[in-house]
Amino acid sequence: MVEAVVVVVGVVASSWIGAAFALDRLGRRAPPRAGWDWIVVAGCRVLADGAPSPALARRAELAARLWHDGYAPRVVASGWRAPSAPASEAEVIGALLRARGVPAEVVVHEDRARSTRENASETHRAVGAARVLVVTDPWHAPRCAVEFRRHFEVVGTAGAPGAELLPRAALREVVAFVLAWWRGR
């Protein structure tokens, strides 16, 4: 009996880890270069001192590079202001984009979204029907694609380089992806 439990736990753990690495690998594919109306930066935590989390900084940096490379003419900075943060994720993204040479007039701040699901719905509310390229961490990109396809006909993703697939993120993201997919069936 104990051996059967160990085998089952081992199979579940291996499957979970394999799924997490598959999501991460999918999110590292390069997006098509042309055809986007908007680059959307999915929000991430702002630290208590107002600094961006490393993930938020990577996402904004990639979005700025994609904008400079001509992937899309406009950018959406998406994310709310957590009670512990002095600024919204959208405001911090906007500041990071400006610091990297993206003009303020091409950036729309969407500061209501508190989740990936809300990033998609609030971005749609802000910009309407459009072709969007969502910038996030690679392991998060497949779930962004699922959520954004509920609101946008054409969705691409770009995974920010340097993002490690950490065990906590891997565990959480596999469940979150399955739930997002299940809700969208």
Per the prediction, the chain carries an average pLDDT of 88
The whole-number pLDDT of residue 159 equals 93
The whole-number pLDDT of residue 33 equals 82
Give 30's contacts (C-beta < 8 A, 6+ positions apart): 158
The whole-number pLDDT of residue 82 equals 93
| pTM of the model as a whole | 0.86
The whole-number pLDDT of residue 3 equals 76
How big is the CA angle at 72 (ends 67 and 77), to the nearest 5 degrees? 65
* Pair of tokens at residue 125: 């509310």
Handedness of CA 119, 130, 136, 55 (dihedral sign): negative
Query: Can you tell me the mean pLDDT for 164-169?
Result: 66
Residue 72 to residue 24: CA distance in whole angstroms: 24
Give 137's contacts (C-beta < 8 A, 6+ positions apart): 27, 44, 55, 58, 59, 159, 160, 163, 169
The predicted-structure confidence for 33-62, as pLDDT tens digits, reads as follows: 878 999 999 999 999 999 999 999 999 999
The whole-number pLDDT of residue 162 equals 81
Q: Is 156 in a helix, a strand, or coil?
A: strand
The predicted-structure confidence for 60-86, as pLDDT tens digits, reads as follows: 999 999 999 999 999 999 999 999 999
The predicted-structure confidence for 105-114, as pLDDT tens digits, reads as follows: 999 999 999 9
* Pair of tokens at residue 173: 């993201």
- At residue 155, does pLDDT exceed 70? yes
Domains of the chain (ranges plus CATH)?
Answer: 2-183 (3.40.50.620)
Share of the chain above pLDDT 70, in %: 83
